Structure 1
């Protein structure tokens, strides 16, 4: 697929993918990749199909179960900078018939490598035990078994590490690895996702807090005449979206539970807006009184992390005009949207749509508060 300033690379194969032959790449008509903040990434490939096409054996038979793990990697090189859009496995193939053989379309869909983490189920009680291991150690141990796929774990310890005493309780895994890892993340207000790259065949398994700090991506300019680089951008504000969780810690001497409010602001999640209304409602967690203070604090932090952002935005852009690929789970500047919405925003999701001659992205933004915290938004 030829686009000005953009080169697309497709790698396919069992476990270790390799570049596809030229006839397969020539038959590719559309690529769609979805990257979301906390959910699994997904992709859809569309090919024109003929009777003698090698796609019959490459995708159809493998999608039918002959090859249990057919891996697909899509790399977009924009102005000389390669970006791995997706590293996943095929989950479904289907043929959309046309008027004749020339118009028949093969559609291949799949998800990122978190699909592999759902293959092995642990059922029954008490489950796979992890004695005297905090959540951070359990996650690192689980992710180690997927090193053959190029998955490199990045595990951030929680603020208050809770080490279970084996004589009191031994955590046990129920369900598959993906469910258990995400459950452990939710308990401490963390997120878990696979970030493809930086090189093809590698992925970073991130288990930690949402990071809303760092160097922002080039600004999204709207209504700035020749400097505009987005096709559309709109924002909404909901001042009633936030809530304040209250946990209860029981005093050992008096047996009286003490209420403790937990704010939703941390060193890695600073407010990106100057004017942010206080929480409009309280969310009590009375069940935390029966837990240890450390565990109650972690549960409170998990609830605080779920507090909704008051500002959300959606838009679309042309990658050739923007000059690079907009990445999710990072900061990006906004200029020209007005004093209330200009400034830094967190990119929650990105949808890539690549066709012959065009490469476009639709995206979602969020942040807490109105009015930028920066005097000048970097270009």
Structure 2
């Protein structure tokens, strides 16, 4: 689907010219797409994409939907940001269309100074995301642990930077993350602002070294114990003004241990900026920092979607089997890259978890 502001089904000419699609979906940050077209030198698509690329604000919206087993899956809902044309032989040219998800639209205008009186952090985020409802953005905002609004007689929070910069700054302040989650219907997206949730039902297992049951093309693992870090927040005692150091662990209800043997932290990081926060605010920042440094086991590989039987979803759990006692078990899907050509649909992926040896006896087949 493609179109200015409101996308519509692509024409026959566009679909026939499309030769490959690549969509990268990370856990944090913007998703990106790359479309490759093979065009004749007189194709009207040259004019269409050149006009859209010359607009001051990216208005050419692109929605990519993959249908597998009769179920549509929205891969990305974004806007075009760049195009490249490479002249070829025999009157053919190759055009590459690149773009990011709808979060790039939130990063165009600096709105520093907008006041948010008596509004807690999560309410400010919801108010900002509500402005993008015409683009089909639905706020999915999880209240933070300390949703106490600031007293307007003491201070009035004001926006700093663009909408995207301010939302990301607020997310980092409380140990949260922000990303756009496309779907479930084409033309809609969830603007998720909340903690990384590493729990829930797992996707069918990625299987290696099991003969006919193997459903991945490659899968390799890495253990990096030096990544483990222990964050220490500093709380200022209100009467004596003395800093009180408090270590923060990396295990919580939304971040359960996926590995039974986590390594001992090799580093200690003092979060000095927490001295001016309340205990709840400092704990939020510490939990976010601990979560980002806890995943010492990582895996990367590729699979054929038709053999796997479904599309591997990012930001969810997936099982792994056949890799040995140390690396079997549940993992969190960090990044997925979709690679689609005519008659071919493959995915590259990266996984992570906090330690060796599985915490579950069996993973979904």
Residue of structure 1 equivalent to 2:96:
107
Matches within 5 A, 1:1-379: 11-65=1-55, 68-102=58-92, 104-123=93-112, 127-379=113-365
The CA deviation string for residues 122-164 of structure 1, in whole angstroms up to 9 with x for no partner, is 24xxx21112211100000000000011111111111222422
Deviation of the 1:188 alpha carbon: 0.8
Does the Cα contact within 8 Å between 2:5 and 2:60 map onto a contact in 1?
yes
How many residue pairs align between the two structures?
A: 365
Does the Cα contact within 8 Å between 1:24 and 1:54 map onto a contact in 2?
no
Distance 1:51 1:257, change over 3 A: closer
User: Following the alignment from structure 2 to structure 1, what is the Cα–Cα distance between the partners of residues 360 and 149?
Assistant: 40
Distance 1:338 1:163, change over 3 A: same
Does the Cα contact within 8 Å between 1:40 and 1:114 map onto a contact in 2?
yes
Does the Cα contact within 8 Å between 2:237 and 2:243 map onto a contact in 1?
yes
Does the Cα contact within 8 Å between 1:162 and 1:295 map onto a contact in 2?
no
User: Following the alignment from structure 1 to structure 2, what is the Cα–Cα distance between the partners of residues 361 and 290?
Assistant: 45
Distance 1:362 1:343, change over 3 A: same
Deviation of the 1:280 alpha carbon: 2.1
Does the Cα contact within 8 Å between 2:318 and 2:332 map onto a contact in 1?
yes
**In angstroms, what is the RMSD of aligned CA positions?**
1.5
Deviation of the 1:75 alpha carbon: 0.5
User: Following the alignment from structure 2 to structure 1, what is the Cα–Cα distance between the partners of residues 326 and 180?
Assistant: 33
Does the Cα contact within 8 Å between 1:350 and 1:363 map onto a contact in 2?
yes
Residue of structure 2 equivalent to 1:6:
none
Deviation of the 1:184 alpha carbon: 0.4
Distance 1:287 1:57, change over 3 A: closer
Deviation of the 1:239 alpha carbon: 1.7
The CA deviation string for residues 148-192 of structure 1, in whole angstroms up to 9 with x for no partner, is 111111111112224222232222111100010011001111110
User: Following the alignment from structure 2 to structure 1, what is the Cα–Cα distance between the partners of residues 275 and 53?
Assistant: 50
Does the Cα contact within 8 Å between 1:76 and 1:82 map onto a contact in 2?
yes
Segments of structure 2 that go 5 or more residues without pairing to the other structure are none
Segments of structure 1 that go 5 or more residues without pairing to the other structure are 1-10
Does the Cα contact within 8 Å between 1:189 and 1:304 map onto a contact in 2?
no
Deviation of the 1:16 alpha carbon: 0.8
User: Following the alignment from structure 2 to structure 1, what is the Cα–Cα distance between the partners of residues 6 and 225?
Assistant: 49
Q: TM-score, normalised by structure 2?
A: 0.96
Range moving further from structure 2, 161-170 or 339-348: 161-170
Does the Cα contact within 8 Å between 2:250 and 2:294 map onto a contact in 1?
no
User: Following the alignment from structure 1 to structure 2, what is the Cα–Cα distance between the partners of residues 190 and 36?
Assistant: 15
